[in-house]
Amino acid sequence: MPRLSKRLSLVFSGDEDEDGSFTDRLPGQEEEDRIGLQFSGRETSKSRFDYTLGWSNGHLRPGIKYRRQGALSDKTTYRFTERIQYEHEKNVYSRTNFRISRLLTNNSIVNWSSRLTYGERTQGVEWTTQFSLLNRYKIEDDRPIAVSYFVSAAGVTRPDSYTSVYAAGLDYRRQFVRDYLFIEFEPSANYRKLTAEDNRELLWRAVLRLEIAISKQPAKLI
């Protein structure tokens, strides 16, 4: 049982990043409310294999996930994840994420992130790519601020191959009232069209999130 408790964890949506979790949301993308279990399989210093069982919209979401990350140079790192998942509305699909991060200063990072999704009910390959600049401000304060400035594009390859949206915006994040509470504000401009034949329209969007960090480790701003 002690060994099992170390390898089995409860995962909430938004637990992406260093703990290797359920969601890989990019700024400017919707995030569904999800909860699930994650069982850690084989793990090395650079890679990890997980079995996941999620719950979303009244249905189970079994899947497997592989993650690999490492350094390309002293200031450049990469992260690759591959997930094979079953969902009620999508059936079986695969989701590939790749990210390269470059440290500019101690408080500034530039990221290039891409995602490919392909499955039984997807529109061919559904893709997203994004460049972002993440800065930390007021580092001397007890609760510093993190702001990510991003530009992105997304599209599909079937039945017609086209870019569905171009977007630009920022993601403001900081601790709020308590160290375990985080507030995010994400305004963006989206130049989009719903089908290959439609004309593009400009859509302004703003999302406000309140996050509660549940962890034995100290919460991190970025």
90-115 per-position pLDDT tens digit:
889 999 999 999 999 999 999 999 99
| Phi and psi at residue 16, to the nearest 5° | -90, 155
Comparing 221 with 213, the larger pLDDT belongs to 213
Contact 95/122 with Cβ under 8 angstroms?
no
Distances in whole angstroms, Cα of residue 119 to Cα of each of 36, 96, 176, 195: 22, 12, 39, 19
pLDDT in the model for residue 12: 60
Question: For 6, phi and psi rounded to 5 degrees?
Answer: -75, -25
Query: Does position 58 have pLDDT exceeding 50, yes or no?
Result: yes
- Whole-model pTM: value is 0.79
Residue 153 or 12, more confident: 153
- CA-CA-CA-CA torsion for 141, 213, 186, 81, nearest 10 degrees? 120
- Between CA 94 and CA 118 the distance in angstroms is 5
Question: 3-class secondary structure for the chain?
Answer: CHHHHHHEEEEECCCCCCCCCCCCCCCCCCCCCCEEEEEEEEECCCEEEEEEEEEECCEEEEEEEEEEEEECCCCEEEEEEEEEEEECCCEEEEEEEEEEEEEEECCEEEEEEEEEEEECCCCCCEEEEEEEEEEEECCCCCCCEEEEEEEEEEEECCCCCEEEEEEEEEEEEEEECEEEEEEEEEEEEEEECCCCCCCCEEEEEEEEEEEECCCCCCCCCC
**N-to-C CA span, the chain:** 33
- Listed by start position, the domains of the chain span 58-212
d(CA 171, CA 4) in angstroms, rounded, equals 37
Q: Are 83 and 94 in contact (CB under 8 A)?
A: yes
Least confident piece of the model among 15-19, 39-43, 167-171, 174-178:
15-19
Please say whether the dihedral angle defined by the alpha carbons of residues 9, 14, 20 and 25, taken in this order, is positive or negative: positive
Count other C-beta atoms under 10 Å from residue 20's C-beta: 21
> What digits encode the pLDDT tens for the residues 2-52?
455 556 666 665 444 433 333 345 544 555 556 677 777 777 889 998 888
- What are the beta bridge partners of residue 181? 212
Q: What is the pLDDT of residue 185?
A: 95
